[in-house]
Amino acid sequence: MRTRTSFIPALAAGSVAVLALAACSANAAAPSSSGGAPAELDTVTVQLDFQPRGLHSTMFVTDEKGFFAEEGIEIEQILPGTSSGDTLRLVGSGQGDFGMADLPTLVVAQSQEIPVQAIGAVNQTSPLAMCTLADEHTLESPADLEGLTVGVQASGSTYVFYKALLATNGVDASALTELTVQPPYEQYLLTGQVDTVPCYVDAEITILEEHAGGEGSLSVLRGPEWGYDAYGTGVFTSDRMIAEDPELVQRFMNAYVKGLQYVIDNPREAAEILAASAPDRAQNVDLYERQIQADIEETFTSVDGAGLAGMTDDTWAAMVEMLAAQGVIETSPAVEDLADASFVTQANEQ
């Protein structure tokens, strides 16, 4: 049995509060790996960090290809979001079962006592960068940001990146003029309202290039090349879910890793599945494929041998140290409170 996912627009935090927490039954159906079809499906919701882009295709593919159903899971809803910070708070408060969010922002959330843990690092290296229009400004180092007007969103993952990048490279934020903006950021750059914006190599860059003159029209300063050593977007859930139904978490990650491998092997089909998930996405197949291809080439590959979406304590510890040293967080969460790699490790071993 395969159940198609329903999709509804992103809701404000107050509106989402009325959503009932999907049941995590103690009598959950046994996963398919134990033999035989499950008699009953656990119904869960997934909360994304933004409007769907190529990176998110794995959730839709895993559902569409029946990988979740094979593990005894029915995806009731995949909800678009407005920011990683909001998504972390929603899932942490029980208004969603699983989510996708920027993992450095999860460190910030944990330092603020939001009870969430990462269960997979989809971007093994951060896809975040700073972008300008190449014919206006050239970024060869973070020092080139000085004197520019930057579009920022203080509650978002891009702001965590922006602050850490400046601090790591000795650039005083007062040397830039900050303008508060709302995503999508590209319109502010294209219309000349700002000189630079944080951008994702697997999202905004592909969109910006379409409107700015094609390949080479942007000057891109990639975070990982300038000391921003961090995971990017990952899969997470609440502390409560891990404590009360670890078997469901394991089955979820079993399916997700299978879906992620399918996306890597079939990027065009993954883009088509994502585009077919809602009428307003139907024309984005080529865009989604380029975004997925950027992740395949730059962020999906494990740099430490941990496998697809794998995580290591050393990387988490380094992220905490970086964010603490740069003043992004005031208290440093323990690594064991930030992530539980056992689920994705077991999923990769199957």
For domain 39-125+231-349, give the fold: D-Maltodextrin-Binding Protein; domain 2 (3.40.190)
Q: Are 189 and 134 in contact (CB under 8 A)?
A: no
Which DSSP string corresponds to 109-177?
HHHTT--EEEEEES-SS--EEEEEETTT---SSGGGGTT-EEEE-TTSHHHHHHHHHHHHTT--GGGSE
Note the pLDDT of residue 249: 98
**HSE (CB half, 13 Å, CA atoms) of 111?**
18
φ, ψ at 259 (rounded to 5°): -65, -40
How far, in Å, CA of 142 to CA of 145, rounded? 6
Burial 134-170 (b: 16+ CB within 10 A, else e): eeeeebeebebbeebebbbbeebbbbbbbbbbbbbee
Q: Are 179 and 152 in contact (CB under 8 A)?
A: yes
Q: Which residues pair with 343 in a beta bridge?
A: none
- Architecture of domain 128-226 in this structure: 3-Layer(aba) Sandwich (3.40)
Q: Is the dihedral of CA 200, 204, 210, 212 positive or negative?
A: negative
Please state the pTM of the whole predicted model.
0.83
Note the pLDDT of residue 106: 97
Query: What parts of the chain have a pLDDT lower than 50?
Result: 1-37
- Among 72, 76, 5, which residue's Cα sits nearest to residue 39? 72
Note the pLDDT of residue 328: 86
- Do the two domains 39-125+231-349 and 128-226 of this chain adopt the same fold? yes
Q: Are 48 and 84 in contact (CB under 8 A)?
A: no
Q: Domain boundaries in the chain? A: 39-125+231-349, 128-226
φ, ψ at 20 (rounded to 5°): -75, 140
Amino acid identity of residue 253, one-letter, is M
Note the pLDDT of residue 40: 86
